[in-house]
A and B are shown apart, each in its own frame.
Chain A
């Protein structure tokens, strides 16, 4: 069965610093990978997604992610964090073979210090 691991439960960075959130997945076939962000009290919003092609994908709000098949990873990065980026971030893998399921990681909460 597919699974997603986000090793970091909570990360704190200073405003203006770079950010990398880790995501590892387990799935036998080609994965459909997503990063979603959840601001406090809100639903989830898609940041970016990867299906195929260029392994470096650009998303909204200045985020990017790199797919590394050899490491089963899809890490999210941002060169300079803004205070408004404080939120919880979820990595997800979608399966499209037989059953269509979307499996989320447990999330990484980002705190941004001024």
Chain B
């Protein structure tokens, strides 16, 4: 079954404690991206990757890091999380930006 898998689904953490949200896809897609969803703001792109070792900033990259060492994985790293990063995060993959994006189930992150 084609899918994008994010882990964990829910996470409560404290300010400043580094965390990683994993994302894996099994569709051999070139393009992967991370979004955050906040009430009234829709989805905003954090980072995207067009291929292995190729990443670029989206619209809200501050406070986040990503890496793309393998085609299937695209982890999101918060080196020093802050309360304003409390949000619902989605990973997505597609062949490229012109094609259908497949979304993970989301990770609800709370930073206290």
Contacts and interface: CB of A to CB of B under 8 A. Distances in A.
Interface of A: 6, 9, 32, 34, 36, 42-46, 49, 51, 90, 94-96, 99-107
Contacts of A105: 42
Nearest to B106: A43
B78 interface: no
B98 A104 contact: no
A104 B34 CA distance: 13
B98 A96 contact: yes
B69 to A, nearest CB: 20
Contacts of B105: 42-43
B101 A102 contact: yes
B100 interface: yes
Given A43-B90, A99-B56, A32 B43 contact: no
A27 to B, nearest CB: 12
Given A32-B98, A46-B100, A104 B44 contact: yes
Interface of B: 4, 31, 33, 35, 40-45, 48, 50, 56, 58-59, 90, 92, 96-98, 100-101, 103-106
Given A43-B4, A100-B96, A102-B48, 13 more contacts: A6-B42, A32-B98, A43-B103, A44-B90, A44-B92, A44-B103, A46-B100, A46-B101, A94-B98, A96-B96, A102-B101, A104-B44, A106-B42
A6 B105 CA distance: 24
- A-B residue pairs, 6 tightest by C-beta: A43-B103, A106-B42, A100-B97, A94-B97, A104-B43, A46-B100
A10 to B, nearest CB: 11
A96 B90 contact: no
A59 B58 CA distance: 28
Given A44-B101, A94-B97, A100 B31 contact: yes
Contacts of A49: 100
Contacts of A90: 42-43
Contact of A106 (B40, B58, B92, B104): B40
11 contacts: A9-B40, A43-B90, A43-B105, A45-B103, A46-B100, A90-B42, A94-B98, A96-B98, A104-B43, A106-B41, A107-B43
